Structure 1
């Protein structure tokens, strides 16, 4: 009985929050579809990264390059992938900083997601093409997508909700992501034998398309909040330069500690991920 009352209380508070904050339902749906779409594809990435068939991941030219230097890529698959992701992020971070400093979210956010959807459809078309290196390209793509898409999501939420609203509503939004992360692999396991691996990319693309719809629905609240903060149009770019984020981290002690916490968390996660793949092999 107590459990029933607790459950009813949680759902009652959630219904009350939805009534108090109309954008909450769209933010809830946005994060659910975002993580669900990512986790639909993650089992495909895991299978590729743990594959003993090195030619299914790396292009022949890359395999030959390492073999000429006495290195067997199948022994260093994850190390190579993580290094490439690191280098790609070093290049993309200044590009991201340049974009957000010059374009409003009205242009920037939908374009980011539509770009990822378009590239996902390209991978779908290439799946059975036999093009060398498509496995590595897909692994790098989904890893970079995970890093960028979630960061963009929370920055957008900060535009919509005030500090007080964030303390009240972020727990619900985070729960939506948790549910999506749980249901994504379940959806893959349920459908993959019926529709095939390639068609799971279409399922993921459909979920990301819902994210774009949510962005358009939430845009009005983001603009209104910017206007409340004395930005006349609510559509102005952030301004600054490509390294503004790094400068802010170096200047603010709280951000430095948060950055250190993220580095340590990712480091531990990477070690555990390596062990998991070693067991899978």
Structure 2
């Protein structure tokens, strides 16, 4: 068994003593994403129920709700110890899930309730996922991140694979209320995994650390994340990267909602279709995350993870402009999402490993939530305007290709800057970063 374990660790590029942390990180993401992806098809169904032509309003509502959450999270991050930020935040969301379960059980077809859940889950997924990655960037050194973040992201893909399957199987017998309650249990499990990961780092402190991660509150003010982004070219570059990513995703998302709503009219069937798409995406992402992502990052740098998918998406948009059919759309959508989970997301998180702790929580959360949802809202209105006023639907796809090219150029610059900060002996968190 010891020989097999050693060979497995070598194959996955795990160093001695890191095994328990890898298992805890995998469990953290698996449980979080299983719960979320059980609910994601429910959200898509409720978004369709509110009318495909109204999606831009849901995106705008999500952005406003995200803005409202920013000072609340900033206040929490300033007042409690870093190691407890995740527990307080996830505990709050568990109470929200219980409330929605009661509402769905009483009024399952209420449109206003459906729209509220759509907005809530759109805030929930960005905040909880961003916070989980904040914990990892806080607990792992930059070198460990390059080796392990792709592998840990595989836990997210496994959860993204099992969640839609569970949702598709259980939505009929349990209903939407039952799925929401079950998702709450998975979120509680991810809290336990995060606590174990913190305790592991306590037993294995980073060599250069002057104190244990999470030993005291971050301090500062609730808006420190936003001000940090505005005064840092590096963080502004990450923010621009996220806006362009969100724009590409939104253009494809609107097409997905339109096609599925026209093809399937039953709400349960829509949930099952969205779940099947999610399952295919996650299955394709897992092998890449386990065997390719970490090796690419170590040998070619973070930049390659941030450039490959945007360039492929530029070609995909051009393909859609020339052949705007359902089969082509499915291929482009699956490639985009699988590539984002396997390459772009781990690469994006590696960018934060060279930053100080406050930026890993506050600035990162501001970018992952407010900036991302702001990009969603803006691109949602742009896409809607193109659909209404443009004479040729292919115009939106051509604009999407240009956005993808800009996305790739920004990713290339960030990869080079991250390498400079990682190799620098100065203070990477200084204002001139």
Larger deviation, residues 179-188 vs 9-18: 9-18
CA contact (8 A) 1:37 1:208 kept: yes
- For 1:87, the equivalent position in structure 2 comes to 64
Q: Kindly state the Cα deviation for residue 23 of structure 1 after the two structures are TM-superposed.
A: 1.3
SS at the partner of 2:96? helix
Q: Kindly state the Cα deviation for residue 86 of structure 1 after the two structures are TM-superposed.
A: 0.6
Query: Number of residue pairs matched?
Result: 253
CA contact (8 A) 2:101 2:181 kept: yes
**Bigger relative contact order, structure 1 or 2, given CA contacts below 8 A and separation 6+?**
1
**1:151 aligned to 127, 130, 142, which one?**
130
- For 2:429, the equivalent position in structure 1 comes to none
**2:107 aligned to 126, 130, 133, which one?**
130
Query: Residues 81-120 of structure 1: matches in 2 within 5 Å?
Result: 81-120=58-97
Deviation per residue, 1:214-272 (Å, 9 max, x gap) = 12212223456489622379420112222222222222222211110100110111111
SS at the partner of 2:33? helix
Q: Kindly state the Cα deviation for residue 20 of structure 1 after the two structures are TM-superposed.
A: 3.4
> 2-side partners of 1:234 and 1:275: how far apart?
43
- Rate the CA distance shift 1:236–1:226 in 2: closer, same or farther, 3 A: farther
Deviation per residue, 1:80-114 (Å, 9 max, x gap) = 11111111111211221121112113432111111
> 1-side partners of 2:125 and 2:88: how far apart?
16
TM-score normalised to structure 2 length: 0.54
Deviation per residue, 1:185-207 (Å, 9 max, x gap) = 11111222233332111221121
CA contact (8 A) 1:33 1:180 kept: yes
> 2-side partners of 1:280 and 1:226: how far apart?
49
Whether 1:77 aligns to 2:54 is yes
- For 2:189, the equivalent position in structure 1 comes to 210
**1:274 aligned to 243, 250, 254, which one?**
254
Query: Residues 38-53 of structure 1: matches in 2 within 5 Å?
Result: 38-51=36-49
- For 2:154, the equivalent position in structure 1 comes to 175
TM-score normalised to structure 1 length: 0.81
> 1-side partners of 2:48 and 2:184: how far apart?
24
> 1-side partners of 2:228 and 2:11: how far apart?
37
Query: Residues 116-265 of structure 1: matches in 2 within 5 Å?
Result: 116-130=93-107, 133-223=112-202, 225=205, 229-231=209-211, 234-265=214-245
CA contact (8 A) 2:71 2:222 kept: yes
Q: Kindly state the Cα deviation for residue 273 of structure 1 after the two structures are TM-superposed.
A: 0.8
CA contact (8 A) 2:82 2:215 kept: yes
CA contact (8 A) 2:31 2:159 kept: yes
Larger deviation, residues 262-271 vs 229-238: 229-238
> 2-side partners of 1:208 and 1:174: how far apart?
17
- For 2:24, the equivalent position in structure 1 comes to 26
Q: Kindly state the Cα deviation for residue 146 of structure 1 after the two structures are TM-superposed.
A: 0.7
- Rate the CA distance shift 1:79–1:219 in 2: closer, same or farther, 3 A: same
Moved beyond 6 Å, runs of 4+: none
- Structure 2: any 5+ residue segments left out of the alignment? 1-6, 262-433
> 2-side partners of 1:264 and 1:10: how far apart?
38
CA contact (8 A) 1:159 1:222 kept: no
Q: Kindly state the Cα deviation for residue 158 of structure 1 after the two structures are TM-superposed.
A: 1.4
Larger deviation, residues 191-200 vs 121-130: 191-200
Coordinate RMSD, CA, aligned: 2.5
- Rate the CA distance shift 1:36–1:113 in 2: closer, same or farther, 3 A: same
**1:13 aligned to 11, 14, 17, which one?**
11
> 2-side partners of 1:138 and 1:277: how far apart?
17
Q: Kindly state the Cα deviation for residue 139 of structure 1 after the two structures are TM-superposed.
A: 1.0
